[in-house]
Amino acid sequence: MDDTVQKQPMPDRSARDGLRRATDVIHQRLHQHPMLRRLAEGSISRSDYIALLHRFLMFHEAVEDRLHRGPDLSEHGIDVAERRRSPLLHNDLADLGAPAMIAPSPVHQFLLVPGSAAAAIGYLYVSEGSRLGGLGLARSLDGLLAPGSTVGRSFLVGYGPRHGAMWRDLCDAIERMGAADEDRDTMISAAMGAFALFEACIEARGTLLAETV
């Protein structure tokens, strides 16, 4: 992730604009979730931060699994394997001395394997877009983790400058795909499904054995 990612122009009526408008309500609702709000405010406890990482892991592992089993996106310039974010979450959990999640919640079963490239790109919009706010969130952890260090927050910091180019490539694919109304609608439905999965994951308190950490 880098700051340039957020400065990308987004013309009205673009396919990304359609995605953003359609998912705005749930995105804004997530900002109000107590755990995410405490993270943003810099007041999250270590145990809640670990619990939050487990929820992100549940979400990203489910999305990565479905994308892996879905259509090949190479002709759209997308390599889903290089966009996996779960390894960063595993690194952070290990750095914090927390176990990897060992009892995934059944909520992830509700995410379907994408039946088309448009649906897969809709999933990627959510999993990749979720890191746009990550750098700011990473900075808010200075009070909890060693300031200036990425240890324990590599997921939020992201893969560095490469993220800017990867996000732009995804936005290009979104626009190409969104040229057809049907594909645009499919992308939006898939993105809404992925957001709904994240919301279910973050509410999955009590379903993770790792919750006892």
Q: Which residues bind ligand HEM (CB under 6 A)?
A: 6, 16, 19-20, 27, 30-31, 36, 40, 125-126, 129-130, 132-133, 137, 195, 198
Least distance (Å) between residue 141 CB and ligand HEM: 12
CA-CA-CA-CA dihedral for 207, 211, 212, 213, to nearest 10: 160
Please state the closest distance from residue 3 (CB atom) to ligand HEM, in A. 10
Closer residue to ligand HEM (CB): 6 or 97: 6
Closest to ligand HEM by CB, 155 or 198:
198
Complex with ligand HEM: residue 99 or 133, whichever CB lies closer: 133
Residue 18: CB minimum distance to ligand HEM, A: 10
Say if CB 96 and CB 51 are below 8 A apart.
no
Residues 86 and 193: beta-carbon distance below 8 Å: no
Query: What distances in angstroms separate CA 1 from CA 4, 57, 61, 131, 184, one per listed residue?
Result: 8, 18, 19, 7, 26
User: CB neighbours of 37 closer than 8 A, spacing ≥ 6?
Assistant: 31
* Residues with Cβ within 8 Å of residue 110, at least 6 apart in sequence: 196, 197, 200
Of the candidates 132, 171, 122, 162, the residue with the CA atom closest to the CA atom of residue 31: 132
Closest CB to ligand HEM among residues 9, 212: 9
Task: Select 193 or 212, whichever has its Cβ closest to ligand HEM.
Answer: 193
Give the nearest distance from C-beta 26 to ligand HEM in angstroms: 8
Shortest distance in whole angstroms from residue 102 CB to ligand HEM: 23
Minimum CB separation of residue 11 from ligand HEM in Å reads 12
CB nearer ligand HEM, residue 71 or residue 155:
155
Sign of CA dihedral 115, 78, 190, 59: positive
User: DSSP character for 110?
Assistant: G
Contact 122, 191 (CB under 8 A): yes
